[in-house]
């Protein structure tokens, strides 16, 4: 006659439950890690797209500043809009205000801003350019002492000076991983580049 010990069966059931619990815990941990890695990858991709949108917009701003220099530097009344071609599309920069800038010296400051949508309408570059015009007949530099109030990336306390006859520009470009009409949607990533040239 064979006697079965019921305590052995209970121990086997307990061991089985512990093994199943461990396998389920490991599986859930791997799934959670995979989801986090996927989210990180998507965020990194979107950040890279936004950075490249800002960088491409900056190149576009440098291009338009060079090819339309006479439009930026019209003596007297500045042009309200500067039209240009960039990313195989017609674009425009509009004259806008520059409140609160403290300046020393003679010359003019003009601020132009505009949006550049490119790619398959899934990239946006917002261009904000400040152009300093100092005639070569002037004897002193034109200086802006608080440019950080207009462009947050500009170092606080630094002065931007433009020599007589020089072409001085500060451009801040904000890139988005979406088209310009969709930048307020959730999940939009924004990157900024500030350059003096």
pLDDT, tens only, 145-173: 899 988 988 888 888 999 998 889 999 99
141: pLDDT strictly greater than 60: yes
Is the pTM here over 0.85, yes or no? no
Q: What is the mean pLDDT of the segment spanning 170-197?
A: 91
112: pLDDT strictly greater than 90: yes
Residues 6+ apart with CB under 8 A from 49: 123, 175, 177, 189
5: pLDDT strictly greater than 80: no
Name beta bridge partners: 127. Answer: 114, 173
- Counting other chains too, the contacts that 74-77 makes at CB distance below 8 Å and 24 or more residues apart are none
Mean pLDDT check: name the lowest of 9-13, 17-21, 172-176: 9-13
pLDDT at 153: 84
Q: What are the C-alpha distances in Å from 76 to residues 67, 107, 109, 130?
A: 20, 11, 12, 17
């Amino acid at each position: 006659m064979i006697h079965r010990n019921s305590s052995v069966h209970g121990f086997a059931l307990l061991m089985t439950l512990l093994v199943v619990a461990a396998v389920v815990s490991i599986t859930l941990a791997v799934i959670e890690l995979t989801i986090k890695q996927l989210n990180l990858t998507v965020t990194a991709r979107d950040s890279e797209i936004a950075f490249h949108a800002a960088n491409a917009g900056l190149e576009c701003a440098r291009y338009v500043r060079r090819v339309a220099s006479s439009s930026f530097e019209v003596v007297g009344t500045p042009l309200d809009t500067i039209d240009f071609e960039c990313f195989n599309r017609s674009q425009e920069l509009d004259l806008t205000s520059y409140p609160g800038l403290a300046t020393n010296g003679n010359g003019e400051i003009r601020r132009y801003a505009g949006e550049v949508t490119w790619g398959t309408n899934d990239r946006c570059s917002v261009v904000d350019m400040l152009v300093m015009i100092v005639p070569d007949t002037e004897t002193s530099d034109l200086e802006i002492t608080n440019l950080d109030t207009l462009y947050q990336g500009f170092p606080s306390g630094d002065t931007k000076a433009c020599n007589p006859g020089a072409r001085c520009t500060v451009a801040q470009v904000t890139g988005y991983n979406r088209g310009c009409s969709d930048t307020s949607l959730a999940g939009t990533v924004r990157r900024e580049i500030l350059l003096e040239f």
